[in-house]
Amino acid sequence: MMYTYLLNLLDSESDSDFVDEEIAYTTIFRRKLPKSDYLKKRKTHGEFVLQKELSEEKYKNYYRVTRAQFAEIHGFIKEDIEAEGCNASKPIGTEEKLAVFLRYIASGNCFKSMGYSYRMSDRTVSNIVNEVAGAIWKRMQPLCMPQGTAEHWTSIAHGFEERWQFPHCIGAIDGKHALIKKPSLSGSSFFNYKKIFSIVLMAIVDYKFITIDVGSMGRFSDGNIFGSSVLAKKLKNNTLNIPPASLIPIIDDPMPYVFVGDEAFPLCENLMRPYPKRSVMDNYENKVLNYRLSRARQTVECSFGILASRFRVFRSPFECKLDSVVKV
């Protein structure tokens, strides 16, 4: 009855006030759809409520963090994900938002599947993932930054020498392709040599992630991405506080501290790559160096493997927009 009345009101040729027409349009086209009974039970039957029954071991397996770590992360980002100005009768709390995000990166489920579990719409899950990822990077990234001192790099080099017998190594560098769905109007910009669409996460690790560069198009090689990265500029300008070259046993000339990478990276003073295959066929010393370098460089491969194993979102194509993928 109301719908018919409003349509007749709009079609009438009377000198009705423009405000009445605006109210009619608002009533017809902007009225909210009634909330389903399924979504209304989020506070009592949603997955966030049911996970409280999990044991500590299952909780860690479910979210990939312990309850203590969950509380620590929540304390850092709580102010950035507050539901200010929300008029809903049952707003989504900050702990529930963090739980949705952690479960998303731990499981790699799609937003619609997450919405069914947590009794939310898929758009709500998407907004939560984007919001929480940005808050975590903003608040926690400064806390995880390396000290940037010569002593810091020296301690890393000591670990590589002790574990992999590669002296003066201060990190292993490589790139990982994160699968994405083809962005609209992007052509082949994100189409890589593996015949998939991706963006590149480039990282330097010593089993911990020391520094990352993320967001480059998948069609670029690791060498091209490195050449245009902030890290390459800092290496060139000597602003990383890397210790000066020093002596190591048996060798008389001072040796610089280096990052190690594969054949895709350029050879420079603080970045070492293996000898090409033609140089190791009949040269035992070159073959030994390549072997030791490969052992040291496997730390970055293992770190990417641990990352994808712990957070399964890296094993399937991201559904988010590119900006959200970079944040995640």
12 domain residue, yes or no: no
In a shared domain, residues 115 and 171: no
Q: Is the separation of the CB atoms in 179 and 316 below 8 Å? A: yes
In a shared domain, residues 77 and 203: no
- 105 vs 48, residue with greater confidence: 105
pLDDT, tens digit, 9 for 90 and up, residues 183-198: 888 888 999 988 999 9
Comparing CA positions, the residue from 280, 310, 265, 285 lying closest to residue 172 is 265
H helix count then E strand count, the chain: 15, 7
How far separated are the first and last CA of the chain, in Å rounded?
Answer: 48
Which of these three, 143, 167, 191, is where a domain ends? Answer: 143
Q: What pLDDT does 259 receive?
A: 95
217 beta partners: 199
**Segment 211-263, tens digit of pLDDT:** 889 999 999 999 999 998 888 898 888 888 899 999 888 888 899 999 999 99
Q: Both 263 and 126 in a single domain? A: no
**The token pair that represents 301 in the structure block:** 């491969």
Residue 8 is assigned to a structural domain of this protein: no
On whether both 201 and 87 belong to a single domain, the answer is no
Q: Is residue 13 part of a domain?
A: no
Q: Please indicate, yes or no, whether residues 152 and 135 belong to a single structural domain of this protein.
A: no
Q: What is the pTM of this model?
A: 0.81
For 89, 124, 211, 214, the CA distances from 229, given in Å and listed in that order, are 47, 34, 11, 10
Domain shared by 58 and 174, yes or no: no
Q: Domain for residue 3, yes or no? A: no
Residue with the two structure tokens 């017998």: 165
Number of compact structural domains in the chain: 2
Tokens of 288: 């030994």
Q: 143 Cβ partners below 8 Å, 6+ apart? A: 76
List pLDDT tens digits, range 20-39: 555 544 554 455 555 677 67
Question: pLDDT (tens digit, 9 = 90+) per residue, 134-166?
Answer: 999 998 877 766 556 888 899 899 999 999 889
Hey, CA dihedral for 266, 271, 276, 277, is it positive or negative?
A: negative
Out of 118, 143, 168, pick the residue that ends a domain. Answer: 143
120 and 185 assigned to the same domain: no
User: Using 50, 70 and 90 to split pLDDT, how confident is the model at 202?
Assistant: very high
Domain assignment present for residue 223? The answer is yes
Query: Helical H runs in 93-245?
Result: 94-107, 111-118, 122-144, 150-164, 222-227, 230-237
Strand partners, 268: 271
Boundaries of domain holding 270: 145-327
At residue 40, the 3 state secondary structure works out as: helix
CA dist., res. 53 & res. 208, Å (int): 32
Q: With 80 as the cut, is the pLDDT of residue 87 above it?
A: no
| CA–CA distance, 64 with 46 (Å, rounded to integer) | 19
Please tell me the least confidently modeled range out of 14-18, 86-90, 113-117, 190-194: 14-18
Note whether 182 and 311 are same-domain residues.
yes
User: Is residue 57 one of the residues assigned to a domain?
Assistant: yes
Residues 228 and 134 in one domain: no
Tokens of 187: 């052509």
Q: Cβ-count burial of 280 within 10 angstroms (0-12 exposed, 13-18 middle, 19+ buried)?
A: middle
233 domain residue, yes or no: yes
The percentage of residues in the chain with a pLDDT greater than 70, rounded to a whole number, is: 85
> Is 184 found in the same domain as 70?
no
Do 125 and 171 have their domain in common? no
Residue 293 in any domain: the answer is yes
Last residue of a domain, one of 100, 124, 143: 143
Residues 80 and 188 in one domain: no
